[in-house]
């Protein structure tokens, strides 16, 4: 462990991800990325200590590593033994996690993805599994933890990684984007939820407000006259405060919420700003985007 400039103790961690092909290693890899780990896929065992040396030389900019090492590299058991011994001597807290599943489950997953097993390019899929199990049997025995993913969905596996490796007190990673927009230019790309606020009085038809935007206080004051403005902010915010933790619990990392009016200049901007303020005050990290502002 090291100490930050504020006196906070920072854990330096390295996680080696290994196991059977199709067992969920790369789902775990993505979960570690979400948790802020510096992640490297398919790295030879001999290069892992060098990577650790580089992170130490970074002066604390990188303190969490996750590295996938698997059968694609043709590593010998002795290579793993040498790596694990080096890890125990490093200043990082190290863990080796072996992901596994029964052959029938792995076969079903390969059937869905239609990928070629790395050890079955000139043999049957079952023979590939058998060769891989034989090559990794001692590695499995040396691992700090073995995770059987047979009964785990992708969301379950991500949740397991989040719960086990996120920093104490840290929230599960979640990216909330609020996007104001104009319906006449189409919906925001990849919207999860869209709310139409065109029922609110339109400042566009007030000559003194037509050339202004929802970021101008005169437009905000105009819309605040109407009870519906505060009510729609409250209703949408309440819905999101209920939904977002449920989405995060199921492994969802992103949510894009569109707030639309006709042109994306006035009403949607005011409501999106109000929602951002409410949700930020409630502890959510909000990315606020006014897509169509100034495009009139």
Digits of tens for pLDDT over the chain (296 positions)? 444 444 444 568 889 999 988 889 989 999 898 888 999 988 888 888 888 888 877 776 788 889 998 766 667 788 888 888 888 887 788 889 999 999 888 888 877 766 666 656 666 777 878 888 888 888 899 888 999 998 888 878 888 888 788 765 555 557 789 999 999 999 988 889 999 999 999 999 999 999 999 999 999 999 999 999 999 999 999 999 999 988 877 767 788 999 999 999 999 999 999 999 999 998 888 999 999 987 65
Residues 150 and 207 in one domain: no
| The predicted structure's pLDDT at residue 2 | 43
Residues 11 and 98 in one domain: yes
Asked if 262 contacts 184 with a C-beta cutoff of 8 angstroms, the reply is yes
Cα distance between residue 163 and residue 160, in whole Å:
5
| The predicted structure's pLDDT at residue 3 | 43
- DSSP strand E in the chain: where? 2-3, 9-10, 13-19, 38-40, 64-68, 93-100, 145-148, 175-182, 193-196, 254-261, 286-290
Residues 186 and 281 in one domain: yes
Q: Does residue 30 lie within any of the structural domains?
A: yes
Residues 107 and 125 in one domain: yes
Q: Does residue 273 lie within any of the structural domains?
A: yes
Q: Does residue 34 lie within any of the structural domains?
A: yes
Residues 189 and 286 in one domain: yes
Which of 165, 188, 213 marks a domain boundary? 165
Residues 183 and 96 in one domain: no
Q: Does residue 170 lie within any of the structural domains?
A: no
Residues 75 and 198 in one domain: no
- The region that residue 284 occupies, defined by phi over 0 for left and psi between -120 and 50 for alpha, beta otherwise, is beta
The contacts of residue 207 (CB under 8 Å, 6+ apart) are none
115: CATH: 3.40.50.300
| The predicted structure's pLDDT at residue 1 | 42
Q: Does residue 158 lie within any of the structural domains?
A: yes
Residues 153 and 87 in one domain: yes
Which of 117, 141, 165 marks a domain boundary? 165
* Domain of residue 233, residue span: 175-290
Nearest CA-CA partner of 27 in 161, 136, 203: 161
Cα distance between residue 64 and residue 173, in whole Å:
15
Residues 79 and 130 in one domain: yes
Distances (CA, A) of 108 to 103, 104, 246: 9, 6, 29
Q: Does residue 257 lie within any of the structural domains?
A: yes
Residues 15 and 160 in one domain: yes
Q: State how many domains the chain has.
A: 2
| The predicted structure's pLDDT at residue 8 | 42
Residues 237 and 283 in one domain: yes
Residues 103 and 223 in one domain: no
Q: Does residue 123 lie within any of the structural domains?
A: yes
| The predicted structure's pLDDT at residue 208 | 95
Which of 139, 165, 191 marks a domain boundary? 165
Q: Does residue 295 lie within any of the structural domains?
A: no
């Amino acid at each position: 462990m090291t100490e930050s400039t504020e006196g906070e103790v920072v854990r330096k961690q390295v996680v080696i991800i290994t196991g059977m092909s199709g067992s969920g290693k790369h789902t775990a890899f993505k979960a570690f990325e979400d948790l802020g780990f510096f992640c490297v896929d398919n790295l030879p065992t001999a290069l892992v200590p060098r990577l650790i040396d580089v992170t130490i030389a970074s002066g604390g900019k990188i303190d969490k590593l996750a590295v996938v090492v698997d059968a694609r590299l043709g590593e010998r058991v002795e290579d793993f033994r040498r790596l694990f011994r080096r890890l125990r001597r490093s200043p990082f807290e190290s863990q080796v996690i072996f992901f596994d599943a029964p052959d029938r489950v792995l076969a079903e997953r390969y059937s869905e993805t239609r990928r070629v097993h790395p050890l079955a390019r000139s043999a049957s899929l079952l023979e590939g599994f058998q060769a891989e199990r034989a090559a990794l049997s001692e590695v499995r025995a040396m691992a700090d933890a073995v995770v059987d993913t047979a009964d785990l969905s992708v969301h379950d596996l991500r949740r397991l990684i989040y719960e086990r490796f996120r920093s104490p007190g840290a929230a599960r990673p979640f990216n909330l984007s609020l996007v104001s927009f104009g319906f006449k230019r189409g919906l925001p790309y990849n919207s999860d939820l869209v709310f139409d606020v065109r029922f609110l009085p339109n400042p566009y038809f007030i000559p003194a407000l037509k050339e202004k935007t929802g970021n101008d206080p005169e437009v905000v004051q105009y819309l605040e006259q109407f009870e519906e403005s505060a009510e729609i902010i409250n209703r949408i915010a309440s819905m999101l405060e209920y939904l977002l933790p449920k989405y995060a619990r199921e492994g969802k990392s992103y949510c894009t919420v569109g707030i639309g009016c006709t042109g994306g200049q006035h009403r949607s901007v005011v409501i999106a700003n109000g929602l951002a303020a409410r949700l930020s005050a409630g502890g959510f990290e909000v990315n606020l985007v006014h897509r169509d502002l100034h495009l009139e």
